[in-house]
Structure 1
Amino acid sequence: MVDLSTLPTPQVIEEIDYEALVARQKETFQTLWEAVRIANPDMDLPQYDVALLRTDPVMIIIEANAYREMLERVRINNAARANLLGKATGADLDNIAADHGVTRLTGESDDALRERVVLADQGRSTAGPEEWYEFHARSVDVDIRDAKVYRPGSGPEIEIAILTTSGGGTPGAPLLAAITAAVTDPAVRSINDVLTVVAAVKTTVNVAAQVWLLPDTPMSVFDGLSAGLTAALASEGGIGFDVNRAWITARLMPAGVSKVVLTTPSTDVVMDEFSAAAFGTISLTFMGRSR
């Protein structure tokens, strides 16, 4: 799937520098003033450096005009973003999605909606590609965080692995049934495909670690480590994400933690590209304080 976040910033969206706008308008004024002074020697106009005094009325007008120009450029930038799938948000994104035949699910984030729009475009094929089933699976419920489509063998059997945002990533039976109904609908399923919807989470990872804090670190930092580790897997992990020991240790060492000795798992937990891991028990032992 196309990762819209990796696209370069479009040239139509410009970098805005207020100080540069002020400097340009000051230079324009100085040039025009000097031209008028030279063209009218009988008026005995003095050389005039507008930058000498911030409270000069001309300087105040220049800054006001530069600020007005900056706001106009910001408005143009925002209008450009509103017409780009990778940049639009809110109602602007809803309108772009509608052009692709996609409607936002209740509570669906902008990022999730963008991903479904890309899947909808990539999946429109009479061959029934992976993206086609992934789009329809993810369109069932906003709780679906990810879906991966694969063939476990060489036959017509296709499995769709589902990862949710709730329940530790494991979908319940009603959600699996709803997804199955959606992807096996005659208007969706390719006639030769045999579809099975399964939970992506196939591995439970238990964590045990000893933790030392720095001398001045409040105990609230230790108390929040377990929840922080769980949140990190929810945001960074997903289908195909390896739960490595180094990754766990790093997430258990926010500011204020001096040392972590990870005892479980004893090895990296490597996942295949269609499976996901979830944390089971997280047992952290406070060992004291050290530098």
Structure 2
Amino acid sequence: MSTIDPATFPPPEAIETLDFEAILVEIMADAQSRFDAAGIAYDVGGLETDPVKIVAEAAAYREMLLRARVNDAVRANLLAFARGADLDHLAAFYDAVRLPDEGDERFRLRTLLAVQGRSTGGTEPRYRAVALGASLRVADAAVYRVGTTPQIEIAVVAADNNGVADAGLLALVSEAIENAAVRMVNDTIRVIAAVTDTIDVAARIWLLPDAAGSLVAALPAALRADWAAEGGLGFDLTREWLLARLMKTGVQRVEILAPAETVVVLPGRAVALGAVDLTMMGRDR
């Protein structure tokens, strides 16, 4: 079962797109209709010095602030948008509690997994949520069954130690998973360190004529940051992904030399970027 991704949902209809000028037009039209009904000739609304226009602008601004506050209240009640204490209160409904110093995005993921894993059985999302909740040192965890047996393996990637989960971290996760309120009685669970394969990357880079020469030197760090944010357990390292991430503003062309083909990553394994060798080939139009 895949994790729910709120980013794929359409924008909430309850959150209004604010437009100061549109609000002002509505207020001025209302004022005009009231003047007309009272038989008052009013035709100076286009003047910036018109007192009615000045008051209408102030009213439009205050109305926009009020509508923005309504938008904020809606966001505070949506898991995809809630932040800080609002997220804490929302997550508590699903029995999810923030770990000390845990950031919003990680906590949001755990809450989504908790929602998806609410079942009388020990589902993959539930076990993954429990593993992530064991420690902030858990960067990610993959849950999968071995063959058709009742044995389940939980492969853990560490947020430190170059991704390798040590014995202490594995013990923390195992203790959380083996809790009687978590583990299904017929599940045999083994918590292991995820196998990390180190893959070197090499590419040739051509820049646009006006691009800064320092751009190529900055690309390796940017590539590693993108991989840290988007990669993970079971995430294939494709040449297309590398090409897309290296095509930063100012880059005209990229030729991927290594890896020679897509690196397919199995459950319980992850890829770490090894050497990133980017060769500046010159400038092209």
TM-score by length of 1: 0.88
Aligned to 2:38: 36
Aligned to 1:3: 5
2:185 aligned with 1:191: yes
What is the root-mean-square deviation of aligned Cα atoms in Å? 2.1
2:177 aligned with 1:175: no
Distance 2:252 2:209 in 1: 9
Deviates more, 1:128-137 or 1:255-264: 255-264
Aligned to 1:163: 157
- The residue type paired with residue 245 of structure 2 is R
Which residues in structure 2 correspond to 1:68-217 (within 5 Å)? 68-217=62-211
Aligned to 2:21: 19
Residues 241-285 of structure 1, C-alpha deviations (whole Å, 9 max, x = no match): 221112213322322334433222111112235432111222233
Give 3-state SS (helix, strand or coil) of 1:263's partner.
Answer: strand
Structure 1 residues 165 and 32, CA gap change in structure 2 (3 angstroms): same
Kindly, what percent of the aligned residue pairs are identical?
46
- The residue type paired with residue 125 of structure 2 is E
Distance 1:134 1:30 in 2: 61
- The residue type paired with residue 242 of structure 1 is D
State the shift of 1:153 in Å: 1.1
State the shift of 1:94 in Å: 0.8
State the shift of 1:27 in Å: 0.7
Residues 162-181 of structure 1, C-alpha deviations (whole Å, 9 max, x = no match): 23444444333321221112
Which residues in structure 2 correspond to 1:214-253 (within 5 Å)? 214-253=208-247
Distance 2:259 2:28 in 1: 65
Distance 2:211 2:11 in 1: 41
Residues 179-218 of structure 1, C-alpha deviations (whole Å, 9 max, x = no match): 1121123332222211112233442211122334444433
State the shift of 1:14 in Å: 1.8
- The residue type paired with residue 22 of structure 1 is L
- 2:137/2:169 contact within 8 Å kept: no
Give 3-state SS (helix, strand or coil) of 2:45's partner.
Answer: helix
Distance 1:155 1:267 in 2: 33
- 2:4/2:116 contact within 8 Å kept: no
Give 3-state SS (helix, strand or coil) of 2:125's partner.
Answer: helix
Q: Which has the larger radius of gyration?
A: 1
Structure 1 residues 5 and 262, CA gap change in structure 2 (3 angstroms): closer
Deviates more, 1:151-160 or 1:182-191: 182-191
Distance 1:117 1:151 in 2: 23
Distance 1:169 1:287 in 2: 33
TM-score by length of 2: 0.90
Distance 1:211 1:166 in 2: 31
Give 3-state SS (helix, strand or coil) of 2:235's partner.
Answer: coil
- The residue type paired with residue 16 of structure 2 is E
Distance 2:126 2:194 in 1: 18
- 2:233/2:268 contact within 8 Å kept: yes
Aligned to 1:41: none
- The residue type paired with residue 265 of structure 1 is P
Gaps in structure 1 of 5+ consecutive residues:
38-44
